Amino acid sequence: MNNVKTFVLMAGLMALFLVVGQLLGGFNGLMLALVFGAGMNFVMFFFSDKLVLKMYRAQVVTEQEAPALYTMVDRLRQRAELPMPVVAVAAQEQPNAFATGRSPRHAVVAVTTGILKHMPQEELEGVIAHELAHIKNRDMLISTVAAGIAGALSYLPYLLMFGRGGNRGGHPILALVMALLAPLAAMMIQFAVSRQREFEADRVGAQILGRPEPLANALRRLDAMARRIPMQVAPAAAPLAQVNPLAAQRGGFSRLFSTHPPTEERIAALEALPIGR
């Protein structure tokens, strides 16, 4: 069901992108949307891992530099039947983790220095299993495409209004409204995609580990500490973290702008799994 929801959200994001191009620039706008969107996704596809590592101030580490972490990732990735990912550590006090890269063979698993300091080994295994689940599910590619389209949509109205691709006979009020609302709608859809993938990664992560309790306990700890310890990271990279690294968004209208589902809902879903029982 989560995969179906993700497909619907991705289709809606792409449709929104093309409709904006069509409304603001006619056929020329539609073509510009296709070309510009493809270009943004090309850049995101091949260079997203480097960009994300830079946003989190993460550095790749070798087995000699972080033997315990490297051994844990290697053991769990074998259980997940995945190639060995690159391992990185981000110089961030907040306990958190993320995965990036365009495919399982070009993947990175990164943890913060804070999680290595504060997280018990069993819970850290749950965190790593969750990130490996993202790799196994190819969620990084989905997130990259969503971010690429959303980013392109943020610039597209301005290109069409002020560039040669614009429809000079179009309505200027419509152009202004689309320039303001389209990026907001794209961001909401992008965050919804991210939220759906988190539930699926929790489920698959519990399967990799063989039981859901370590990941559920890790999420409790991560959520509590993320509220107390701030992290300096670009909002565009926030959806990749295991829990929201910027601020907890709970209830009401604010949930539309949350990069993650509520942690209590994720824990409840994990505790309802029959795995390990």
Compute the average pLDDT of residues 117-135.
96
Domain ranges of the chain: 2-271
Active-site residue among 125, 131, 198, 200? 131
Residue 225 has pLDDT above 80, yes or no: yes
> What pLDDT, on the 0 to 100 scale, is given for residue 256?
47
Confidence of residue 118 (pLDDT cuts 50, 70, 90): very high
Q: Tell me the pTM.
A: 0.76
Whether 131 is a known active-site residue: answer: yes
Compute the average pLDDT of residues 132-157.
73
Q: What are 25's two structure tokens? A: 């620039």
Pair 40, 148: CB distance under 8 Å: yes
DSSP string, 81-144: T-PPPEEEEE--SS--EEEEESSGGGEEEEEEHHHHHHS-HHHHHHHHHHHHHHHHTTHHHHHH
Tell me 37's DSSP state.
H
Q: What are 162's two structure tokens? A: 């002020």
Residue 83 has pLDDT above 90, yes or no: yes
Compute the average pLDDT of residues 174-188.
64
Pair 188, 257: CB distance under 8 Å: yes
Compute the average pLDDT of residues 175-191.
65
> What pLDDT, on the 0 to 100 scale, is given for residue 172?
62
> What pLDDT, on the 0 to 100 scale, is given for residue 237?
78
Residue 183 has pLDDT above 60, yes or no: yes
Task: Please report, for residues 39, 119, 194, 195, 276, the alpha-carbon distance to residue 76 in angstroms, rounded to integers and kept in the order given.
Answer: 35, 17, 23, 24, 16
Compute the average pLDDT of residues 51-75.
93
Q: How far apart are CA 37 and CA 223, in angstroms?
A: 35
